[in-house]
Amino acid sequence: MKTKIQRIYDILQQEGRPDRSQVFLHVAEELGELSRASRDVRNGTGTEEHMIEEAVDVVITAIASYCAVADNNVELFNELFEKKCNKWAANAEKKVHSNIGDLLQTSRTTPDLENDVQYQQAVSEDVEDLVYSELGIPK
């Protein structure tokens, strides 16, 4: 069974291998359509289903742009996909820790508790547990 990357690559080949700039412009066009669909949903004149379809069009054209640059190198795509996902996860974790610090700053309500190390530690652990569980991130 062909991967989705291989399938899109084959379609591009059937089209006669369009030049990269045309493929990249198609991505921009689909992003514009997604943006309009999102606006329509926000304004109550569009549907979630249409917005989802436009999001899929963005993904397909983004994969087509990858194929225009790297052919159908699935191994490279998978390697870079994992690398980028790991980077996103690390950034999300940094953001969670930053948000925990912000929450701790606002959770201190009395001067007496600010100097209470046990209180700060308990609040820190409670907030951290809550944030991790809400975001579905394993500790």
Could you tell me the pTM of the whole model? 0.64
- Quote the pLDDT of residue 118: 61
* pLDDT of 38 strictly over 90: yes
Residue scoring higher pLDDT (84 or 100):
84
* pLDDT of 99 strictly over 80: no
What percent of the chain is predicted at pLDDT more than 70? 69
Asked if residues 105 and 127 have their Cβ atoms less than 8 Å apart, the reply is: no
* pLDDT of 128 strictly over 60: no
* pLDDT (tens digit per residue) in 101-126: 666 665 555 455 555 556 555 655 65
| C-alpha dist (Å) from residue 33 to 25, 47, 52, 53, 65 | 12, 13, 11, 10, 17
Domains of the chain, by residue range, sit at 4-72, 81-135
Mean pLDDT of the chain: 80
* pLDDT of 55 strictly over 60: yes
Axis crossing angle, helix 74-107 with helix 48-70, rounded to the nearest 10: 130
